[in-house]
Amino acid sequence: MRTVLLLAVVLAVAGTAPAAALDVERPEVRSFITHMIEAHAFDADRLRAWLGAAQSQSSILDAMERPAEKAKLWYEYRATFLTEKRIREGVEFWTAHRDELDRASAVAGVAPEYLVGILGVETYYGRLTGRYRVLDALCTLAFDYPARAKYFQGELEQFFLLTREAAVDPLTAMGSYAGAMGAPQFMPSTFRRYAVDADKDGRIDLWTSWADVFASIGNYLNQFGWLPGEPVLTAAAADPARVSQTGRKLVLSDTVGSLSAQGFVFDTTLPAQSPALPIAVDEADGVHWRIGYTNFYVITRYNHSALYAMAVYELAAAVKTRILVTALQSAEAPATARGAPGGASSKP
């Protein structure tokens, strides 16, 4: 048994490729450098020094091949994000940052619970923002992940532009294995296009300014078509004999009326012409159905996954419900028994 275990350890170590410095003389890297010099007037020596400091990491490539949104069914995925602890800490987070959340919500037209829900799913309210250098993640995927090399080369380009504009150090900025940054996990192109300097300090900071974080998420959802006050998701029943939908495509091509005509039964205050899509939900006891509306589809623009959007929706609803119940209990309690809310840091 000891021999077998020793052999397993040896094989595991042998199969773990160490990080490797990026070779700036590779043709595709040289082509990228030339593009950055010609298109954006970057200094050649500085750019080569940054790229030469990047480490291509096999763990990043492994993570790209097994995202939770593709590896798990809904009831498994849900169990990760809809925990009592995450809901309770979502309430604490909302309470601590209520004023900043309310301001961002008012500007963007996005209810505060969805700002909280996205942060709760993305980074556990700003606690888990990634353990990889953004430079390493983007270089690994731009030059050693052929399936999406073009996309990540574009994001690497946007990252270098961002570092120049926002005074971000390209050698120290940290993020996810895909290069997403800060509490809201914005990719570089998203950061440059949608992030907001809400605290008016002259720079956009998605790492340490909650005002910027909330406003940036709200602006992103708003720009993708969020409809203030409209619903996100509804439970539905379906007649198997009439329904031909798979419920596995994120395409907003149906309407409330057309889905009703196809055999879906659901309650909504939206008019028949409102866009809608059916969602097949894998529960432990089989497939159930939900109907997503425009705002559900907008959440999937943040992460192109119905599982992700459902987790955001359910976490948002759970935290809001807890907030309302707590407020009701406080209102019913004797004034002398009420406690003042505690202070909280303004930093993620």
Which positions are catalytic? 122
Q: Are 114 and 221 in contact (CB under 8 A)?
A: yes
Residue 208, classified by CB atoms within 10 Å of its CB into exposed (0-12), middle (13-18) or buried (19+), is middle
d(CA 17, CA 208): 34
d(CA 137, CA 126): 19
For Cα atoms 317, 318, 320, give the angle at the middle one, nearest 5 degrees. 65
Q: Are 264 and 236 in contact (CB under 8 A)?
A: yes
Instruction: Count the Cβ atoms, other than its own, within 10 Å of residue 345.
Output: 9
Tokens 């889905």 found at? 259
> Token pair of 43, please?
């200094």
Evaluate the CA torsion angle 94, 67, 222, 266 in order and state its sign. negative
